[in-house]
Amino acid sequence: MSSDNPKRKLFSHFAALARVLGNEHRLELLELLAQGAQPVEVLTARTGISFANVSQHLQQLRKAGLVTGGRRGKNIVYRLQDGPVVEAVSALRALAEHNMAEVRDVVARYFDEIDSLEPVGAGELLSRLESDSVTLLDVRPADEFRSGHIPQARNITLAALEGRISELPEGREIIAYCRGPYCVLSFQAVEALRARGFAVRRFKEGFPEWKAAGYPVETA
Amino acid sequence: MSSDNPKRKLFSHFAALARVLGNEHRLELLELLAQGAQPVEVLTARTGISFANVSQHLQQLRKAGLVTGGRRGKNIVYRLQDGPVVEAVSALRALAEHNMAEVRDVVARYFDEIDSLEPVGAGELLSRLESDSVTLLDVRPADEFRSGHIPQARNITLAALEGRISELPEGREIIAYCRGPYCVLSFQAVEALRARGFAVRRFKEGFPEWKAAGYPVETA
DNA sequence: AGTACATTCAATAATTCTCTTGAATGATCC
DNA sequence: GGATCATTCAAGAGAATTATTGAATGTACT
């Protein structure tokens, strides 16, 4: 009834946007791009999705205005478009965690089991950094670290962690972070470091959420 | 790579949830349910979608944990499940408005044209209500008003507005609101009242957003 | 108990989405 | 200028999604 033509049109656009978010590969691509711009090649390698398929997904993301692609040398580099992309995905995640029984199950069974300690929120992390009372560990790949990270963070890839463990000061709490709240890297880092007797907690979110919330970011 | 089994599983759930949001009819049903619980019958009438189809969409929403359905007398009444449903849809809308060119077009062409005045935000509305310096008009159907509205609001349906226009005090600003930011009812009310010389503005959002933000709500 | 009513279920056709394959484009490098 | 490389395009098979129809369920009313 009431033949709301323009509202209907808007809702259909909103739905189309939700469908763009409604694919696990595209969500993963968005997560990667939220760490920093990347050429298609790297996205292919890092996700394990086939080349042409990544390209097609990127195209859908671009058509929806979520990413932009530009040529840099031989590669076409995609980056997140300005706008509340991270926020929208976070809202989706929050809804899923709250309302979907299966999601609560996976989180409880898998993640809470590895790390039962309460993770550190952004506000607390910031004040701990300001008082210099904590060592912050970024376990993402080096290029993602380079294109943006939380100030004072040290970048030690998970693969390199075993070998460089002596670089970490003892007797000081370590906080580890990663791409997002369920990035497995930081969970594994926490597990590995705890086994060596370090006091480690995870940052509750990841770099993109930190940045989207307006906290300071360092590039180098 | 990195075979993130549990993260992949979560992402696939997030994507599934996004797909549930990725249908205009379901978005519309959610908007209606955000006004208050309704039996399938009313949802059918109010959306114009066929009966069986509404039922199937509701089932998908229920399976995703976004709504619950319970029998009340002869009817089965659906209501929004607890959780950040309104917030997620709002985030989706914000993203669409910011990043999708087509959405910006529709908004500019259609909505901004009818009402070029800056709408009133929630904070301002609250303080205007507290100082009793404004008449608040709820143009939704009576049953939606009854199951929850902004305090001090008067309910005059759009259809009844012409006939009851004398009830509105003159020389006092009117603020109209509705189901959500793009609910056409409030735009039409604004248009009709302005034609009669009233000073009218719209509330920027709708009742569900007001409620979800934690502002006071009246039921009667 | 039986009828009426609101809703769901089941089956189907039409449409859309996804991935794969192989060819096409377009920039770089020698 | 030709070879090479990264990416996109185009086509097609397979799967999922959607709306419609008509039957099935289960509660309420008399």
Residue B146: strand, helix, or coil: helix
**pLDDT band, residue B176 (cuts 50/70/90):** very high
Select the residue of A15, A83, A110 nearest B24 (Cβ to Cβ). A15
User: Across chain B, which distance is largest between two alpha carbons, in Å?
Assistant: 69
Q: Which residue has the tokens 């978010």?
A: A21
Q: Which residue has the tokens 């959306």?
A: B47
pLDDT(A146) > 90? yes
**pLDDT band, residue A116 (cuts 50/70/90):** confident
The pLDDT of residue B170:
87
The predicted-structure confidence for B104-131, as pLDDT tens digits, reads as follows: 999 998 888 888 889 999 999 999 999 9
The predicted-structure confidence for A25-74, as pLDDT tens digits, reads as follows: 999 999 999 999 999 999 999 999 999 999 999 999 999 999 999 888 88
Protein CA at B73 to nucleotide C1' at C1, angstroms? 21
The pLDDT of residue A1:
44
Q: Is A102 on the interface with B (CB under 8 A)?
A: yes
Across the beta sheet with A75-80, what order do the strands follow?
A: A38-39, A75-80, A67-72
> Closest approach of chain B CAs to the CA of A109, in angstroms?
10
Do the Cβ atoms of B176 and B203 come closer than 8 Å? Answer: yes
Burial category of A163 from C-beta neighbours within 10 Å (exposed 0-12, middle 13-18, buried 19 and up)? exposed
Burial category of A130 from C-beta neighbours within 10 Å (exposed 0-12, middle 13-18, buried 19 and up)? exposed
Please identify which of the residues A67, A178, A183, A190 carries the catalytic annotation: A178
Protein CA at A56 to nucleotide C1' at C25, angstroms? 16
Q: Is A96 on the interface with B (CB under 8 A)?
A: yes
How far is the C-alpha of B177 from the C-alpha of B84, rounded, in Å?
22
Nucleotide with minimal C1' distance from the CA of B22 is D17
Nucleotide with minimal C1' distance from the CA of B25 is D18
What CA dihedral angle connects A38, A81, A91 and B53, to 10 degrees? Answer: -110
Q: What are the tokens at B52?
A: 């069986």
Residue A172 is given by DSSP the state S
Closest-CA residue of chain B to A85: B95
* Nearest alpha carbon to residue B78 among B31, B33, B45, B19: B33
Residue nearest to nucleotide D21 (CA to C1'): B52
Which residues 74-103 on A are within 7 A of strand D at the CB atom?
A: 74-77
| Report field, pTM of the whole predicted structure over 0.95 | no
CB contacts under 8 A, A 113-142 vs B, are none
Q: Hey, which residues does B34 pair with through a beta bridge?
A: none
Q: Which residue has the tokens 């100030």?
A: A151
How far is the C-alpha of A189 from the C-alpha of A159, rounded, in Å?
9
Q: How many CB atoms lie within 10 A of CB A171?
A: 6
Q: How many CB atoms lie within 10 A of CB B81?
A: 17
**pLDDT band, residue B72 (cuts 50/70/90):** confident
pLDDT(B58) > 50? yes
pLDDT(A4) > 70? no
Q: What are the tokens at A161?
A: 């962690």
- CB-based contacts of B216, cutoff 8 Å, min separation 6: B150, B151
Q: At what angle do helices A5-21 and A85-99 cross, to 10 degrees?
A: 80
Compute CA B111 distance to the chain's CA centroid, rounded to the nearest angstrom: 16
Domains and their CATH numbers in chain A: 6-82 (1.10.10.10), 116-212 (3.40.250.10)
pLDDT(A12) > 50? yes
Q: How many CB atoms lie within 10 A of CB B135?
A: 21
**pLDDT band, residue B73 (cuts 50/70/90):** confident
Count of positions (residues) in chain B: 220
Q: Give the residue ranges of DSSP H helices in A112-170.
A: 112-114, 122-130, 142-146, 158-161
How far is the C-alpha of A76 from the C-alpha of B150, rounded, in Å?
51
β-strand pairing of B200-202 with B174-177: parallel
Q: How many CB atoms lie within 10 A of CB A191?
A: 12
Distance between the two ends of chain B, CA-based, in angstroms?
Answer: 57
Q: Which residues of A98-122 are buried (b: 16+ CB within 10 A; e: fewer)?
A: bbbeebeebbeebbeeebeeebbeb
A115 touches strand D (CB under 7 A): no
- CB-based contacts of B75, cutoff 8 Å, min separation 6: B39, B40, B41
What is the pLDDT averaged over residues B206-220?
95
Do the Cβ atoms of B23 and B56 come closer than 8 Å? Answer: no
